[in-house]
Amino acid sequence: MLSAHEVKQLELKANEIRIDLIKMLEEAGSGHSAGPLGMADIFTALYFNILNIDSKNPNLAERDRLVLSNGHICPVLYTTMAHRGFFPVEELKTLRKLGSRLQGHPHREALPGLETTSGPLGSGLSQASGMAAVAKMDKLPWRVYCLMSDGEQDEGNTWEAVMFAAKYKLDNLTAIMDRNHIQIDGFTEDIMPLDSLKAKYEAFNWYVIEIDGHNMQEIIDACHEAEAIHDKPVLILAHTIPGKGVDFMENDYKWHGAPPGASDMEGEPKKEEQAKIALKELRTLRGKIRSEHE
């Protein structure tokens, strides 16, 4: 159980990551906003509390492996890795620029600490399952964490991996799904209804934990609970708010693939004001986080 001080520090770090997210997306002029903002708490918990990793030795043999299946939310991965010390924070300004190591989808050989190249949705869970199977066969101690979106549950490849992981009892595999109910064309339940995801995964013999994806204590407790499960892979079904922390982005699927300042959207702030407003809201939120724990 984390102390109130420890929770506060992680929440403040997640908010710093959101602030740098907005800055890098504005600088790039392209990229995804909603998913990265929504997953900042989970990435913070993983990189600053859960994962066995060493930014000074990113190829540490016994390190935990993190696979990002929905590679389009890589701005939150890059920002969290920079804050964790894998590369300079200043490099975030190069997102999506020619010659940058920070491409629109992660490229494994471009950056220390990346385990896979991602792009095609639905592939990550298969990659993660393969890694977990290797660790089981060779009796290695590391765990595999696979981050994936709810929208990519539309992909058949995902369900092949779900069956594979259950068959081989990959209890060293934890999948974390960003259940934010949006994808690029609209709301998931309008495009291809997904619920009940918990019942579906349980029917495939997975152990499922449902959490508030913005509650730091719940995130960390769920990861520890997953470590204690035997003979089953674990899905952490994390309910999140897309665009978390920026009022005009929250729960609006139009921000799935749009950065602040890219275009004027009906009912939204003018494009030249979007990043400024977003940063002001996030900086104000930082003060609220402090006061809640004092």
- CATH of residue 24's domain is 3.40.50.970
What is the C-alpha separation between 118 and 246, in angstroms, rounded?
A: 27
pLDDT band at residue 285 using 50, 70 and 90 as cut-offs: confident
Average per-residue pLDDT in the chain? 95
Into how many domains does the chain fold? 1
**Which residues, 6 or more positions from 71, have their beta carbon under 8 angstroms from its beta carbon?**
105, 106, 117, 118, 119, 124
Residue 264 pLDDT more than 70?
yes
Condensed to tens digits (0 to 9), the pLDDT of residues 120-149 reads: 899 999 999 999 999 999 999 999 999 999
Which pLDDT belongs to residue 277?
Answer: 94
Which pLDDT belongs to residue 265?
Answer: 81
> Can you say how many angstroms the Cα of residue 146 is from the centroid of all Cα atoms in its chain?
9
Mean pLDDT calculated for residue range 98-104: 95
Which pLDDT belongs to residue 294?
Answer: 57
Residue 288 pLDDT more than 80?
no
Proportion of the chain above pLDDT 70, given as a percent: 98
pTM of the predicted structure, to 2 decimals = 0.96
Which pLDDT belongs to residue 293?
Answer: 61
Which pLDDT belongs to residue 77?
Answer: 98
Residue 93 pLDDT more than 90?
yes
Residue (of 80, 75, 72) closest to 24 by Cα position: 75
Amino acid, single-letter form, for residue 172: N
Condensed to tens digits (0 to 9), the pLDDT of residues 35-88 reads: 999 999 999 999 999 999 999 999 999 999 999 999 999 999 999 999 999 999
Q: Which residues constitute the domain of residue 17?
A: 4-292
Mean pLDDT check: name the lowest of 42-51, 222-231, 263-272, 281-290.
281-290
Residue 231 pLDDT more than 70?
yes
